[in-house]
């Protein structure tokens, strides 16, 4: 079946512009995560959605970052007034149900470059 998909695969933008990154999780997966992978760093947790519960936003680095998940499926990560330090690969993952034991399935990522 289809895996997690993300779009665009690459995004180049100018400093100060807003960007939207999209994630389509695996159908039926109730949990959705956004991570950021910077050069030489591990994955940094950004935000987590579980079903209809309020999202866990504890990893968002600033109020320029926000995310929505519509209808319990597609999610959009928005970065306003982008800065050069926002350049990274943004990864989305989805998981069936709750519990840390369940595997997270990752998308291919969106590489964001802020000039």
Q: Which residues bind other proteins (CB under 8 A)?
A: 3-4, 31, 33, 35, 40-45, 48, 50, 56, 91, 93, 98-101, 103-109
Measured from the Cβ of residue 36, the count of other Cβ atoms closer than 10 Å reads 22
Looking at beta carbons only, is 14 or 103 nearer to other proteins?
103
Q: Kindly give the pairing relationship between strand 43-50 and strand 105-106.
A: unpaired
**Distance from C-alpha of 34 to C-alpha of 66, rounded to nearest angstrom:** 11
Contact 112, 21 (CB under 8 A): yes
Q: Which is nearer to other proteins, 15 or 113 (CB)?
A: 113
- Rounded least distance, CB 64 to other proteins, Å: 22
Q: Shortest distance, CB of residue 69 to other proteins, whole angstroms?
A: 15
Name which of 3, 1, 2 is nearest 91 in CA terms. Answer: 3
Length of the chain: 115
Residue number with CB closer to other proteins (40 or 71)? 40
Cβ closest to other proteins, residue 18 vs residue 53: 53
């Amino acid at each position: 079946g289809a895996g997690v998909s993300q779009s665009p695969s690459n995004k180049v933008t100018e400093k100060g512009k807003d960007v939207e990154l999209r994630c389509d999780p695996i159908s039926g997966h109730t949990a959705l995560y956004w991570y950021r992978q910077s050069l030489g760093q591990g994955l940094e947790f950004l935000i987590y959605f579980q079903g209809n519960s309020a999202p866990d936003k504890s990893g968002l680095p600033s109020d320029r970052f926000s995310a929505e998940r519509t209808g319990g499926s597609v999610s959009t990560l928005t970065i306003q007034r982008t800065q050069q330090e926002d350049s990274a690969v943004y990864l989305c993952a989805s998981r069936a149900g709750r519990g840390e034991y369940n595997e997270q399935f990752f998308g291919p990522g969106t590489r964001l470059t802020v000039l």
